[in-house]
Chains A and B, each alone.
Chain A
Amino acid sequence: MNLDPNKSPAQQEPEPTTGSAPAPVWLFVLVALLAFWGMGFLDSHGGGFQPVVYAPYSSIKELEDDQPRSEGKKVLLLGKFVYDEKAKCLACHQPTGLGTPGQYPPLVGSDWVLAKEPGRIIRIVLDGFQGPVTVNGQPFNNVMVPWRDTLTDEEIAAVLTYVRQSWGNNATEVKTEQVKAIREKTAGHSGQYFAVELLKVPENE
């Protein structure tokens, strides 16, 4: 039975055709308005496209304002900021501090990091390091760049404290004054340190 009595015989039925009425101008105005609104919405709700900002926070600043404020925590936060963002230590040493096997040494449980006094690692951060070196029994042979001109004394102290006290590491904090003293003492040092040279630095510095 035919469901559509007034349809043309099947084989002659024409394919559809199009008219050419113009699109109304107000539609384009609406595109502009919605785009403008969208920008505003992303500004206020987008969290600056930061991976750590979740609603209801709208910016990383708001989030930082709500972080713990005791003195110790503040240093750790600055240290984490330097490690993750400013110096991007995590690129080689990984966010877990475990390094990359065979390429970049771990910071977790490392004798160098956990040494009683931070004199040697302050030097490494200041002027960089040149392999080979043995860490936790594994050989590594790679280069670390110097940070003398990029990081302040406070930042170096904070990142080292962060490294010495995170991921299960538990060593004393590094004071800004210690970094300052060593920076002045080694002002004339040229090029990166070798392991041999660092081992000559007294352990109690």
Chain B
Amino acid sequence: MIATSSSAHTVSPEPGSGPVAPPADIDASCRVPVMVLLACAAVWLVVASVFGLIASLKFHAPNLLADCPWLTYGRVQPAQMNALIYGFAAQAALGIALWMIARLGRTLLVQPGYIVVGALLWNVGVKLGVFGILIGDTTGYEWLEMPGYASPILFAAYAIIGIPALLTFHHRREPMLYVSQWFLLAALFWFPWIYSTANLLLIFFPVRGVLQAVVDWWYVNNLSQIWLGFIGLAAIFYFLPKLTARPLYSNYLAILAFWALALSGGWGGIHSGAPVPAWMPSLSTVFTVLTAIPLIAITINLNRTFTGAMAKLKKSLPLKFVVFGAVAYLLAGALAIVSAFPQFSQITHFTLFTPARTQLFLYGFFATTMFGAIYHVVPLLIQNEWPSARLARAHFALATLGLVFYVGSLSVGGILQGLALNDPEVPFAGALNRALVCFRVGTLGDLLMAAGNVCLASNLGWLLVRCCRACCVPAIMAAVKPQMAEAAR
């Protein structure tokens, strides 16, 4: 596979199988669908933050909202995760992926109208699903809590968005594939397969007993490591060279990372204490350790690409986000490998260390990378700069600081809690108290991240309102004025 792409290719400006579309036209074709996806994503991000804060505050005051069954911790927490994953992450991923596919293929986005319909349908599904969780219809499977009446809607919506995406890829004018396209194409296929498998085997024709947990672990791991991982990596591999104006260090290393990750990334997630036959967690451990290969390949590649671009980092906010995301990815990957060893997971598995790792991956890597992409892409689509650079800078400061607080305190707290849980001499309440102290610092992190998310959403809202005013109001006025004049006459 590596040999086949051995030529030192740069993406050439020559047309491939047809006339190359100018970037301005591509952006124009993406404008409505991608903006719908990104704007909805920003709203869901704020919704997830609110749920997250409620869940977090319950640790400080168990009596808070305790008489409202809708807002009990066991419902708010999955509602937060689902809003974050399906509301924010999936829509941001699809929006940015569509734009990258069109831009890298140098072709117009196919059927933007369908994509808008798909995006709206997706939002209907997520709303219904989160509502279902809050009223107690949760399925009980982690990351798949949305009830059976919401998930088929999501699947249909994905198909409506995914097929135009594939067609756009198919109609590409640029024959040479850039490595981001590999990741994006793989991700496009991966989601429908794992989502349908998990839904069929867990909700519609449930498998028996503990197999449900095995299927769920497989799904969660594939969704995060492969689906979100691939789209996030595609964005990093795209934006890092673009924003630093340097070529990606090595195409081979990127493709090696792609195949190594595709082969080894989908096996993790079964912890060593799980009530399943010994071979399953062992297999999980071995393959998770093997993800060290793609992780090292990505590290070398990004590091070499980035070396010498420090000056650019200081000036470009999108680049800051993307670099932060890349660092978080590598850190999360390293922690995943360490946690795969039974000796380590014996201590950390049931503790707050696990949510710390999840947050580092979902927010530190994925969301942050998407933020970088959003800050770069939205002005191109709308042809208007962000209304407030200060809000954007505040977003970066709040998001990164909040994440560091959250992940730092929870991982330390998790390890302390785990050591205490593993020592039968320490009473259970004592073990939990050690964690709770750290969780309180974590709530501060939650608050900072929520504030950052509000910065993004308000900045985006402001931008959209301004654009509407700039283009819609004159249009309406133009339409209305003659009538008014007529009426006056």
A interface residues with partner B (beta carbon < 8 Å): 1-8, 10-24, 27, 30-31, 34-35, 37-38, 41-42, 45-55, 57-58
Contact = CB atoms under 8 A, between A and B. Distances in A.
B11 A17 contact: yes
B62 interface: no
B317 A15 contact: no
B349 interface: no
A55 B286 CA distance: 16
B112 to A, nearest CB: 19
A27 B292 CA distance: 10
B316 A20 contact: no
B104 A18 contact: no
Interface string B266-294: 00000011011111011101110110110
Contact of B23 (A11, A41, A48): A11
Given A1-B388, A49-B279, 16 more contacts: A4-B319, A10-B23, A10-B27, A13-B242, A16-B178, A16-B180, A18-B11, A18-B251, A19-B247, A20-B6, A30-B292, A35-B290, A41-B282, A42-B286, A45-B342, A52-B277
B241 A17 contact: yes
B178 A18 contact: yes
Contacts of A30: 292-293, 296
Contacts of A38: 286-287, 289-290
- Please classify the interface of chain A as helix (H, G, I), strand (E, B), loop, or mixed, using the class held by over half of its residues: loop
A4 B275 CA distance: 52
A34 B272 contact: no
B483 to A, nearest CB: 37
Contacts of B6: 20
A1 B385 contact: yes
B248 interface: yes
Interface string B202-243: 000000000000000000000000000000000001100111
B253 A45 contact: no
A6 B312 contact: yes
B250 A18 contact: yes
A40 to B, nearest CB: 10
A14 B13 CA distance: 9
Contacts of B296: 27, 30
Given A1-B386, A3-B389, A41-B286, A47 B278 contact: yes
Contacts of A1: 385-389
Interface residues of B, number: 73
B36 interface: no
Contacts of A11: 22-24, 27
5 contacts: A6-B315, A11-B24, A21-B249, A30-B293, A34-B289
Contacts of B106: 15
A57 B247 CA distance: 52
B404 interface: no
Interface stretch (B79-87, B136-144, B161-169, B374-382): B374-382
Contacts of A35: 290
A3 B242 contact: no
Interface string B384-413: 011111001000000000000000000000
A18 B278 contact: no
A19 B272 contact: no
Contacts of A2: 379, 385, 389
A23 B250 contact: yes
Given A4-B243, A6-B316, A53 B278 contact: yes
Contact of A42 (B7, B179, B282, B386): B282
Contacts of B285: 41, 45
B359 to A, nearest CB: 25
Interface string B350-365: 0000000000000000
Counting from the closest, the 8 A-B pairs by CB-CB distance are A47-B278, A20-B8, A16-B241, A21-B250, A17-B10, A38-B286, A4-B316, A1-B389
B388 A27 contact: no
Given A3-B316, A3-B389, A13-B242, A20 B286 contact: no
Contacts of B24: 10-11
Among the interface residues B104, B174, B250, which one has the most CB atoms of the partner chain A within 10 A? B250
B250 A19 contact: yes
B2 interface: yes
A23 B253 contact: yes
A42 B282 CA distance: 6
A53 B282 CA distance: 12
Contacts of A37: 289
Given A15-B103, A22-B252, A42 B283 contact: yes
B334 interface: no
B282 A20 contact: no
A18 B316 contact: no
A35 B174 CA distance: 37
B368 to A, nearest CB: 15
Contact of B254 (A18, A45, A49, A53): A18
Nearest to A2: B385
Interface in B324-381: 342, 375-376, 379-380
B297 A57 contact: no
A23 to B, nearest CB: 5
Nearest to A38: B286
B277 A53 contact: yes
B489 interface: no
B256 A19 contact: no
Contacts of B272: 55
Given A3-B389, A10-B23, A15 B278 contact: no
Contacts of A54: 275-278
B11 A45 contact: no
Given A1-B386, A3-B389, A17 B247 contact: yes
